Structure 1
Amino acid sequence: MNKFRVALAAAALTFTTATASMAQTAAPLKIGYTSVEYVLSQMPESKQIESQLKDYSTQLKNQLDAKANEFRTKGEAYQKGAATMTDVVRADKEKELQNLQQSIQEFQQNAELSLQQKQQTLLKPALDKLQKTIDQVANENGYTYVLNSDGASPVLLHGPKDGDISDLILKKMGITPGAAAAAATKPAAAVTPAATPAAPATKTKTKSKK
């Protein structure tokens, strides 16, 4: 499952920290593991986060498309009227188009960063809730460490089925394991504008005054 790029969330949590103290105890080491991605996808917050991310992404894309349309309209007007423009007017229009193109590129970069920050902000309460529940389940069931089994390079490479505490975590939060839709949904769309024409090549010729 990759409901909304949970890899970012998994990286943000430190699941390799001890969840129960081993200080001066003779109790055997007990290690559990969970799929952060799976648990988050089952939490009701996941649908809310996904919806909010989609709305925010759409807002950014609409703003970017508006800038792209402005650039396209002015570019077409320039191409149609360039032949009749004076050198001063032509140079001014070209400079305006170049500035608009640069503005679009900067906005797109900032929008992508803003979308990532929005995702992290929306995920934080759910991640905090998940971490708190993991601590509770680990303490109640005697787990010394809880590892994360997600990711391209998971912390856990092998473990017994009875070491998977994912369902215990869900039940602790009052969630029936597997109740949420298992089908993965597409992540928030990248903020990409429609293709825009390149800034016209500068044709300004400097005329010397005699």
Structure 2
Amino acid sequence: MTLTRKFRLALAVAAFSFAAAPAALAQTTAPATAAAGPLKIGYTNVDYVLSQMPESRQIESQLKDYSTQLKNQLDAKVTEYRTKGEAYTKGASTMSDVVRADKEKELTNLQQSIQEFQQNAEQSVQQRQQTLLKPVLDKVQKTIDAVAEKNGYTYVFNSDAGFGTTPILLHGPKDGDISDLVLKEMGVTPGQNNQPAAVKPAATPAPAAAAPAGKTKVKKK
């Protein structure tokens, strides 16, 4: 999930509503349309706005620290698995059937524990990311609303709907781009971050639990 997916879904709903607008306008009387005034449409690049906000860099740093903590815990589990696996491989020939079966069960349980920890860690990082991003996305939405009201924009679209997807806005005049207005409204100087890349979804680096040397035959449940 990209960082702005929830925000983009909201914008997609707005775009759908706008698609129905011509039909609704056609049903209004001429005096009412004139009184309402002409439509003014603007657009913004949400990823660009996020990339310029200091909150995004703070979130990226927090997610990196959290991801590192989880990775260290996972590395410790993998090290324990490999160490016990190597010990099993070296001493398997001298173990009784009971001891050998107990060691194999222990290794199997450790392997399953590693896999479960990896899955839970990835979900935990995503949840932490969503929690940290929510107030930032709420701030962006409120600022867009404020800028639209101040400048008379009837609709505002997102010009970058995501990686590998079609933007909601395919063409628009330069003076319709309110991205810098949104940043200024938040007290952020446009262009101060020369790397306009929004915070990417954090992933928990997780080394695979390699089987111990000696081709230990430990069956998975």
Alignment of 1:67-78 (within 5 A): 67-78=77-88
1:15 Cα deviation after fit = 2.5
TM-score with structure 2 setting the length: 0.80
Stretches of 4+ moved more than 4 A in 1? 22-25, 183-189
Amino acid at match of 2:103: K
Taking structure 1 as reference, are residues 114 and 68 closer, same or farther at Cα in structure 2, changes over 3 Å only?
same
**Which residue matches 1:124?**
134
Matched with 1:15 is 11
Match 1:179 to one of 186, 192, 213: 192
Structure 2 matches for 1:146-185, cutoff 5 A? 146-150=156-160, 151=162, 152-182=165-195, 184=197
Please give the secondary structure, in 1, of the residue aligned with 2:36.
Answer: coil
Q: 1:110 to 1:35 in 2, by over 3 A?
A: same
Which protein is richer in helix relative to its size? 2
User: Kindly, what percent of the aligned residue pairs are identical?
Assistant: 69
Distance 1:166 1:183 in 2: 12
**8 A Cα contact 2:40 2:152, kept in partner:** yes
Instruction: String of CA shifts for 1:13-39, please: whole Å, max 9, x gaps.
Output: 113538xxx995531111111000000
RMSD (Å) for aligned C-alpha atoms? 2.4
| Structure 1 Cα separation of the partners of residues 100 and 37 of structure 2 | 82
Shift of 1:182: 1.8
Unpaired segments of 5 or more residues in structure 1?
1-6, 204-210
Find the aligned partners of 1:148 and 1:95 in 2 and give their Cα distance: 54
Distance across 1 between alignment mates of 2:211 and 2:97: 20
**Unmatched tracts of structure 2, length 5 or more:** 18-24
1:88 to 93, 98, 103: 98
Q: State the partner residue of 1:4.
A: none
Asked if 1:140 is matched to 2:159, the reply is no
In structure 1, give the amino acid aligned to 2:209.
T
Query: TM-score, normalization: structure 1?
Result: 0.84
